Amino acid sequence: MSDAGPILEVKDLRVHYGAIEALRGISLEVSDGQVVALIGANGAGKTTTLRAVSRMLRPSGGQVRFRGEDVTRLPSHAVVARGMAHAPEGRGIFLNLSVRENLDLGAYLRRDRAGIASDVERAYTLFPILAERRAQVAGTLSGGEQQMLAVARAMMSRPKLMLLDEPSLGLAPQVVERIFGVLREVNASGVALLLVEQNAHKALQLAHRAYVLETGTVVMQGTGRELLASPEVRKAYLGE
């Protein structure tokens, strides 16, 4: 991890769905090369936070700075071009396209064919099952394979920051281990991660820092280790 300062700064972020205020002034930071986890109950605002940061949603207030630039009002494709990738909840892959076509679409803003081919091979090395299924239509993959494809596709834009929404949701334990192993490798290669994850124990083990969200506000923050040791977190989110 470098000490170059935050790659992502979110200040007083607010989002409304009609009259309902889903985010009530969220502030958080991700430093260059860090893993930061967002944990909280369903409806706490975790997915909304990721969608507002990646510009899939328009905030009603606050600011998002990415790599020192105010990106609060940029379109989502412009944020991707600056080095942010989002693997949304529900995977968001193209079910009628092949594994390889999905990976190619992850690199749609790039023009370096040799680099793209190299990154496809890297994805196949990280996820050997995708290499076996490269010509298979994505909609016929298992849930775990689709999640691997979603992560691999997000990596194809060579992001500096990846937003991951519930990467382990509904997956078998051994697949969860594989996904988190790959996330460690991706982070070790220098990519920062902002992770929303219902498996709070796994998320906090991986995270350098973490934030606890309740009803659209940050109610607790600290290192992953500190929150793992917190009696309140252990009772509320770790089932203890």
pLDDT by residue for the chain (240 residues), tens only, comes to 444 579 999 999 999 999 999 999 999 999 999 999 999 998 999 999 999 999 999 999 999 999 999 999 999 999 999 999 999 876 779 999 999 999 999 998 888 999 999 999 999 999 999 999 999 999 999 988 998 999 999 999 999 999 999 999 888 899 899 899 999 999 999 999 999 998 999 999 999 999 999 999 999 999 999 999 999 999 988 876
The pLDDT value recorded for residue 2 is 41
Report whether 148 contacts 156 (CB < 8 A).
no
Amino acid identity of 32? D
Kind and range of the H or E run holding 188: helix 173-188
- Cα–Cα distance for residue pair 20/221, rounded to 1 Å: 25
Q: Which of 203, 210, 200, 196 is nearest to 236 (CA)?
A: 200
In this predicted structure, what is the pLDDT of residue 4?
A: 57
For 16, the token pair is 């409304």
Q: Quick check: 156 and 116 in contact, CB under 8 A? A: yes
Cα 82-56-191 angle, rounded to 5 deg = 40
* CA 9, 206, 125, 177 torsion-angle sign: negative
Domain chopping of the chain, boundaries = 6-83+159-237, 95-148
Point out which residues pair with 85 in neighbouring strands.
Answer: 162
CATH superfamily of 6-83+159-237: P-loop containing nucleotide triphosphate hydrolases (3.40.50.300)
SS3 108: coil
Q: What is the pLDDT of residue 109?
A: 85
Contacts of 64 (CB under 8 A, 6+ apart): 8, 9, 10, 11, 13, 52, 53, 55, 70, 71, 72
Strands of the 6-17 sheet, one edge to the other: 20-31, 6-17, 61-66, 69-70
Q: How many CB atoms lie within 10 A of CB 140?
A: 12
With vertex at residue 236, the alpha carbon angle to CA 232 and CA 240, rounded to the nearest 5 degrees, is 85
